[in-house]
Amino acid sequence: MTKAGILGMGRSLGDQVVTNLDFEQRLDTTDEWIRTRTGIEERRIASEQIDSSHMAFEAAKEALQQADTSPEELDLIIVATVTPDMAFPSVSAIIQEQLGASNAAAMDISAACAGFIYGIVTAQQFIENGAYKKILVVGVEKLSKITDMNDRNTAVLFGDGAGAAVLGPVSDDKGILAFELGADGTGGMHIHLQDEFLYMNGREVFKFAVRQMGESALGVIEKAGLTKEDVDFLVPHQANIRIMEASRERLDLPPEKMATTVKKYGNTSASSIPVAMVEELNNGKIKDGDVLVLVGFGAGLVWGAVALRWGR
């Protein structure tokens, strides 16, 4: 059977740096509260004229280059987002045109902060059953356009960005080893879009995330026929350092074996996992042959995890 893996990745972040001190000036909050409760020090917010498709396009171009893949080789583009430029056309169709990916089908999927995981698992199915060879998966979010910047409960948490991966066939010992996806719609009210803004019951989401991230990570390791000791690097959804630490501790991993970009970029939703992966690839922390566990959760409520062996 063909194995599907990641051939190359790219990313793009909001162009403006907004620090905790900036929030201190205009909201009833402090740098100390934000840092200690979330681990966030600053985030990137995209200017008004930059929409999700702009960031998705930039990340996709970089991923294609890293994957030595031309846009014409793409069979499918999947964009995971809850903040598309508009309801339709989809972000995937917009960037299909911009990239010149004339042979690619295009669809957006909505799985909030777990969207990138849902995207790569979807791509894996098409590649492993032989229907498609090369698939671009982008997680992109411009959460700033649905965040009430006067609400201290949510304004300080989020950032804008895009992360992209080109998936294709890899050698038998590399690529995606196992996945786990799940949903619990009964928790839907805990994060939802009401009128124009995102509403969140932080405490409930926190409890769910701590429990689910650990369980999903351990579940996917078992499905891959591995043990905790086999894991080289954990890439959790970058929502809150305390949730991430709880997942890391469930896997008995030392701090240096977990991606942490939440400090610089905040929670960038569907883009947080691929953005963190690009950062850690650039830092030399993800190496050929490493066993990675990616794990995310988000509005829905939904969750997903993937175990993969890095490399082609």
Catalytic residues: 113, 237, 267
Q: Are 43 and 18 in contact (CB under 8 A)?
A: yes
Report how far residue 34's alpha carbon sits from residue 199's, in angstroms, rounded to the nearest whole number: 18
Q: What is the smallest separation between the CB atom of 312 and ligand COA, expressed in angstroms?
A: 31
Q: Rounded to 5 degrees, what are φ and ψ at 130?
A: 85, 0
Residues in contact with 215: Cβ distance below 8 Å, sequence separation at least 6, in sequence order: none
Please say which residue, 101 or 293, places its beta carbon nearer to ligand COA. Answer: 293
Per CB under 6 A, the list member of 70, 102, 125, 153 interacting with ligand COA is: 153
Instruction: Measure the CA dihedral 243/244/247/252, to 10°.
Output: -130
Per CB under 6 A, the list member of 63, 209, 217, 220 interacting with ligand COA is: 209
Does 29 sit near ligand COA (CB under 6 A)? yes
Report how far residue 153's alpha carbon sits from residue 202's, in angstroms, rounded to the nearest whole number: 8
Please say which residue, 10 or 236, places its beta carbon nearer to ligand COA. Answer: 236
Per CB under 6 A, the list member of 46, 156, 213, 276 interacting with ligand COA is: 156
Does 166 sit near ligand COA (CB under 6 A)? no
Per CB under 6 A, the list member of 35, 61, 133, 152 interacting with ligand COA is: 152
CA 118-121-127 angle, to 5 degrees, is: 145
Does 199 sit near ligand COA (CB under 6 A)? no
Instruction: Using DSSP, state whether 237 is helix, strand or coil.
Output: coil
Report how far residue 185's alpha carbon sits from residue 198's, in angstroms, rounded to the nearest whole number: 17
Does 271 sit near ligand COA (CB under 6 A)? no
Per CB under 6 A, contacts with ligand COA among 38-57 are 38
| Binding residues vs ligand COA (CB under 6 A) | 29, 33-34, 37-38, 113, 152-153, 156, 191, 200, 202-203, 205-206, 209, 239-240, 267, 298
